[in-house]
Structure 1
Amino acid sequence: MDWNERYSEPGFTYGTEPNEFVAAVAGRIPPGRILSLAEGEGRNAVYLASRGYQVTGVDGSEVGLRKAQELAAERGVAITTIHADLSTFEIEAEQWDGIIASYCHLPSAIRAPLFRAAVRGLKTGGVFVLEAFSKEQLNYGTGGPQSPDMLMALDELKLELAGLDFVHAVTVERDVREGSKHTGLASVVQLFAVKR
């Protein structure tokens, strides 16, 4: 997937409103610093910044991050963006009050070490928030990767995020309407986990 090409399309590929699950749990994230993995065009980072968080969004697409900064300026908030390949991005230990992974679909060989680093990157009491398509999403045809390895399963995620207390961990069917690429009934994994 060429994300620069996708984000070069007019408008915002996944809309400008935050992911519904991120918005639903935002009030439970401790005040402070949030890292958003695969932030894309900024919808979650800008929303969280509007709630008073210091947000850093990291993504492999320069085009997406430029649009994220434009959205932040339009909404009157400041966010930090980092252009980086998530396969080599280093998450500093115990620096973050929250880490967000909203539809951060990566091959498991990249995702597993990244998520282990995310656990180390959280401060005590920090939270990890994830919503992503489950492996069952292949049966829906309403968005997401076509590779089962890039889709998620709770049992795998719990291993990759070992060391966290899983407050909310479910696979659910829900209507996802986010821009032009996530449209319709989908099977998603939702996680809200705390580092104790």
Structure 2
Amino acid sequence: MNVDFWNEKFTQTPGLYGEEPNRFLKIQLQSLSPGYLLLPGEGEGRNALFAASKGWKVLALDQSPIAKKHTLEKARKNGLDIEYQVCDIEKFIHEGTKFDVIALIYFHLPSSIRAQIHARFEAMIKENGLLIIEGFGKNQLKFSSGGPKNTEMLYAIKEIKSDFPGITWEYEFEGNDILNEGIGHSGEADLVRLVGRKLSDYLIKISN
């Protein structure tokens, strides 16, 4: 899906995925001390705004300038500071401080670039940092609650885990749940949820 698609979506239906943060991410962040958080595919900022309100330093990414505009308008209204970059994810490079947490919330990629992008994200997580994932599973096409219509872009838990060899998984879920995230994610859905911790870069090199 290209920039024009998402710009049109967010222009015609502002608040497409609701104003509240993703429930799974909210629960995870509430159990952690605030740090540096990366949110790729952040859209209109519902997760970024929540995290910033709890003291997290947030870098949000998306390809849609309309999504960025909506997010920063809300941030200013609420006195929150969020860094938001509009970019092609294949061209995103981060050479600064590594992230305490990277959260991939409905961040679905074409199979041709998925493993490559995921490997880059793993490298951006600091030692002992966390990776949090929620996305639609392969059976999501049975439901009308949102998500890509291309099966290759949907998650299989074994595939996703294999993209992150340096992550020790602490929580895994694959199955059905009910979503209530605006009109964009509403109803029964097939979901994959993962939480993992990054091993040290030294151990990753030894294992390779």
TM-score range, shorter chain: over 0.9
TM-score by length of 2: 0.90
SS of 1:158 mapped into structure 2: helix
Give the aligned partner of residue 187 of structure 1.
Answer: 190
- Of 136, 142, 150, the residue aligned with 1:147 is 150
Alignment of 1:1-196 (within 5 A): 1=1, 2-92=5-95, 95-196=98-199
SS at match of 2:90: coil
In the TM superposition, what is the alpha-carbon distance from 1:70 to its structure 2 partner?
A: 1.1
Gaps of 5+ in 2: 200-208
Q: How many pairs were matched up?
A: 196
Tell me: CA distance 1:10–1:152, structure 2 relative to 1, closer, same or farther (3 Å).
closer
2:206 alignment counterpart: none
Residues 30 and 93 (structure 1), Cα distance of their counterparts in 2 relative to 1, 3 Å cut = farther
Q: How far apart in 2 are the matches of 1:126 and 1:93?
A: 15
Identity rate of aligned residues, in percent? 34
**What is the CA-CA distance between 1:74 and the residue it aligns to?**
2.2
Instruction: Please state how far the C-alpha of 1:24 moved relative to its aligned partner.
Output: 1.1
Gaps of 5+ in 1: none
1:18-39 deviation per Cα after TM superposition (whole angstroms, max 9, x unaligned): 0011001113445321110101
Deviations 1:106-160 (A, max 9, x none): 1022221111111110001111111000011111122111101110011001111
Q: Quick check: which has more Rg, 1 or 2? A: 2
